[in-house]
Chain A
Amino acid sequence: AQSVTQLGSHVSVSEGALVLLRCNYSSSVPPYLFWYVQYPNQGLQLLLKYTSAATLVKGINGFEAEFKKSETSFHLTKPSAHMSDAAEYFCAVTPRGHYGGSQGNLIFGKGTKLSVKP
């Protein structure tokens, strides 16, 4: 069955430092991949998505993620952390069907809370 693993439930970085949040998926067929961000007591906001075009995907707020099929990974990065990046980040996948289309339902990782120190 499809699954998503986010390494590290909590990550702390200093303001201005590199942000790296890890996500690995399990699938024999590369799925569609997403990163979402959730601020306290708010809904999830889509940061970026990979659906089989360029392997390096740029999203909002300066975040980007690289799809690496050989490593079954989709890690999220940002070159320089800002205080406003403190939030919880979720990686998600949706299985790709036999004919390439999505089967619809998202499978979420358990989330990584990012703290940014001044």
Chain B
Amino acid sequence: SQTIHQWPATLVQPVGSPLSLECTVEGTSNPNLYWYRQAAGRGLQLLFYSVGIGQISSEVPQNLSASRPQDRQFILSSKKLLLSDSGFYLCAWSVRQSGYEQYFGPGTRLTVT
């Protein structure tokens, strides 16, 4: 069966510090991968998605970036965090060919202080 991991589970970082969040998927090949953010009181915002290694599409201009160095690894990064980057970050995957439902990881709670 497929599983998706995210780490760390929680993170407290000062403004201006760098960020690296990691997501890995097991039990499937060639998945579509997604990064979402949930800010307090707001819905899910799609940040990035990837259909293959090195292929990243950005949905929202911001100081975040994403990379996909391996088929089942998706990394969210920032060089300098802003207060507005606080939120709950969710990684998700879907089967590439069908593109139907997405399966979500457990999330990372980021607090920027």
A residues adjacent to B (C-beta < 8 A): 32, 34, 36, 41-46, 49, 51, 90, 94, 101-106, 108-111
A105-B49, A110-B43 known; A44-B90 Cβ under 8 A: yes
Cross-interface CB contact of A90 among B43, B46, B101, cutoff 8 Å: B43
Chain A's closest residue to B4 (CB) is A43
Interface string of B77-109 (1 = CB under 8 A from A): 000000000001010101000111111111101
Of residues A34, A43, A110, which shows the largest number of chain B Cβ atoms within 10 Å of its Cβ?
Answer: A43
The total of Cβ contacts below 8 Å across the A-B interface reads 50
Name B's A-contacting residues (CB within 8 A).
32, 34, 42-44, 46, 49, 88, 90, 92, 94, 98-107, 109
Task: From the candidates A32, A44, A90, A104, name the one contacting B32 in the complex (CB within 8 A).
Answer: A104
Rank and list the top 6 A-B pairs by shortest CB-CB distance, nearest first: A104-B99, A43-B104, A102-B99, A110-B43, A44-B104, A108-B44
- CB pair B101–A49 under 8 Å, yes or no, is yes
5 A-B contacts (beta carbon < 8 Å): A42-B106, A43-B106, A49-B100, A104-B49, A111-B44
Q: Find the residue from B32, B43, B88, B107 having the highest chain A CB count within 10 A.
A: B43
A109:B43 contact, CB within 8 angstroms: yes
**A94 vs B44: C-alpha distance in the bound complex, in angstroms?**
14
B88: chain A residues at CB < 8 Å are: 41
Contacts of A109 in B (CB 8 A): 43
Residues on B with beta carbons closer than 8 Å to the beta carbon of A42: 106-107
Q: A90-B43, A90-B44, A109-B43 are in contact. Are A101 and B99 (CB under 8 A)?
A: yes
